[in-house]
Amino acid sequence: MDRAKYDIYITEAKAKAKAIEHEAEILLENAKSKAKEIEFNAQSEYEKKQIELQKEYEEKLNEILKKEEEIENLLKTQSKKEKELENLEESLKKMIGSYDKKLKEVDELLRNIAGLTKEEAKEMVLEKTKELIREDIAHLTRKMLKEAEENAKKKANYIIAQATTRYAGEFAGERLINVVPIGDDEMKGRIIGKEGKNIKTLEMVTGCDIIIDETPGIITVSSFNIYRRQIAVETIKRLIEDGRIHPARIEEIYKKVEEEFEEESKKIGEEIIYELGLASAGIHPEIIKLIGRLKYRASYGQNALGHSLEVAHLAGIMAAELGGDEMLAKRAGLLHDIGKALTHEIGGDHVQIGYDLCKRYDEPEEVLNAIKAHHGYEEAKSIEAAVVCAADSLSAARPGARREVLEAYLKRVTQIEEIAKSFDGVIKAYAMNAGREIRVIVEAGVVSDDEAVLLAREIAKRIEEEVTFPGSIKVNVIRETRAINFATKSA
């Protein structure tokens, strides 16, 4: 009987094993089928992306070829204008030579007829000749000056266009707060701790405000110092993940995160140096670390590292166009705002801080000059410093690069208009183009054309002294004279 049961059990077990084996084969087939389907979808997506990228590449290539053709045409026009100018100069020389010859003939004739001395005849003829040719010379001089100004403006616009089209930087706005998700509200109580000890420790070691309100599932970290704020956010995330939240653990985690951020700053700095081709430039390791720290600094909402990188690229392109040192210009552009990495710790003017820092670590004289020149502390003494100033203005004034709170913007615009209206002869003043231009309408009977130029200068100077603003503000003084009369028909 036992043997029969045993055989039955064996038979049932084999049947179950076979069923399981069959089921496993079905699952394996399904898995293979699913894998083939995924592989096919991935291949299709890859081919689709490849076609899109190829199309985008061809479009960009066509754009570049079109730009190159435009530049070539511009250079041909420039060459033609220069040749015309040379011809004008040659004509002027011939004209002067012809007048000299005529003067000699007239001098000889007058001496023979009027009995004048050579000096008396010469003086008489010169006065007469001056009167005759004054208008011609003035017209020719004005024409030559106008052409020279136009050519200079075209060249400047060409260089700026080249720089801005060949480099397109990214923009990331910076906020003053970070929101940290904490899951459930029970964690809020643990972060606050008994009698608020945990949150007090967090605020003390991080230097940030930890805001815990009724908003479910989040806490807010607030600080003007982005670097400290990011360390605080990472510290809180690790404490929540770890689960052990008490003052000693908070200090331990904070110290570890701070060390990691210091190392990360150094790594970011090295990557930036490598990206700009300055890896062999001999920049001091301390400066490289501070370059990375710029990632956690912002001015008017514009990330300081992004701004410095943008200035470096633009300055390098413009320096190359002008025959300067491209690598030195990039170096100066990258370091022009390096003082901002230390303003929260040291305090004071970022220009002087950056200048002292770079001087201490033996940066080239052109770099030191660029640091001071980009805020007008001294004149630019080299091509490299000059292009850094231009690139800094381009980056800061680019629409969308910087942002302000509405109240500060309205206050600045009102202040600019009030400054313009305070001058004698001003009828109205309007701030235009988001505060980047002020149009001043003056009374024609009070302000002359020459005085209008002087007035624009004085308004610009007052704005520079009294208003804090990013980029530049254009002062446009408008003087208009209207003559009105009426025609009437007699009855």
Helix (H, G, I), strand (E, B) or coil at 211: strand
Instruction: Report the alpha-carbon distance of residue 219 to residue 283 in Å, rounded.
Output: 41
Please give the residue that has the higher pLDDT: either 152 or 324: 324
> For 157-170, what is the mean pLDDT?
49
pLDDT at 142: 60
Q: What is the pLDDT of residues 337-390, one digit of tens each?
A: 888 887 666 767 788 888 898 999 888 899 899 888 888 788 888 888 888 888
CATH number, domain 406-479: 3.30.300.20
End-to-end CA distance of the chain: give it in Å, rounded.
146
233 has pLDDT over 60: yes
pLDDT in tens, 451-474: 888 888 889 999 988 888 777 788
Query: CA-based diameter of the chain, in Å?
Result: 167
> What pLDDT shows up at residue 137?
63
Q: What is the pLDDT of residue 169?
A: 47
**pLDDT (0 to 100) of residue 85:** 85
pLDDT for 138 equals 54
> What are the domain boundaries of the chain?
50-166, 169-403, 406-479
Phi, psi of 438 (to 5 degrees): -120, 120
- DSSP-derived letter for residue 487 is -
Tokens 């490849």 locate to 50
Higher pLDDT pick, 77 / 402? 77
pLDDT at residue 192, rounded to an integer? 84
431 membership: H or E segment, kind and range: strand 426-432
Q: Given this model, what pLDDT does residue 482 score?
A: 65
Rounded distance between C-alpha atoms, residue 192 and residue 173, angstroms: 31
pLDDT(28) > 50 = yes
pLDDT category, 175, cuts 50, 70, 90?
low
The predicted structure's pLDDT at residue 193: 85
In CATH terms, 169-403 corresponds, of 3.40.50.11240, 3.40.50.300, 3.40.50.150, 3.30.1370.10, to: 3.30.1370.10
**Are 83 and 91 contacting, i.e. CB atoms less than 8 angstroms apart?**
no
- Across the chain, mean pLDDT equals 79
Tally of CB atoms within 10 A around 78:
14
* DSSP per-residue codes, 76-145: HHHHHHHHHHHHHHHHHHHHHHHHHHHHHHHHHHHHHHH---HHHHHHHHHHHHHHHHHHHHHHHHHHHH
Is pLDDT of 34 > 80?
yes
Instruction: For 403-432, give one letter per residue: b (16+ CB within 10 A) or e.
Output: ebeeeeeeebbebbbebbeebebbeebebe
Q: What is the pLDDT of residue 459?
A: 92
Contacts of 444 (CB under 8 A, 6+ apart): 479, 480, 481
- Rg of the chain (C-alpha set): 37
pLDDT at 71: 87
